[in-house]
Amino acid sequence: MASPMRIRAKTTDGVTEVKALMSHPMETGMRKDADGKPIPAHYITEVTATHNDKLVLHAYWGPAVSQNPFLNFRFKGGAAGDTVTIKWVDNQGESQSEQTALT
């Protein structure tokens, strides 16, 4: 995936909120192109998020998630300057990982 994942992580009163906008076609595999040929399935299957190398989110996704997924989650803890890393893997073996500093 050429386009970067955009992540924003903000800590307020001991709770960190993470918002991420991913770039992915999330093709279900059910659609057909103009010539009637099926468009191959291409979607994110697994998402992991770590805070300073500690796992805080592990999700299994599938074709029901829309194109360019928007992820929002919270976890307890975190302080300004810590790192949050989000990684996804898709059914075609592609992956992307991006990190951001907490504000």
Residue ranges in contact with other proteins by CB under 8 A? 3, 6-8, 19-21, 23, 25, 66-68, 70, 72
Residue 9's DSSP bridge partners are 18
Between 23 and 50, whose beta carbon lies closer to other proteins?
Answer: 23
* Backbone Cα Rg of the chain: 15
What is the C-alpha to C-alpha distance for residues 64 and 60, in angstroms, rounded to an integer?
Answer: 11
The least distance separating other proteins from the CB of residue 54, rounded to whole angstroms, comes to: 24
Between 8 and 87, whose beta carbon lies closer to other proteins?
Answer: 8
Between 54 and 74, whose beta carbon lies closer to other proteins?
Answer: 74
What is the C-alpha to C-alpha distance for residues 69 and 89, in angstroms, rounded to an integer?
Answer: 13
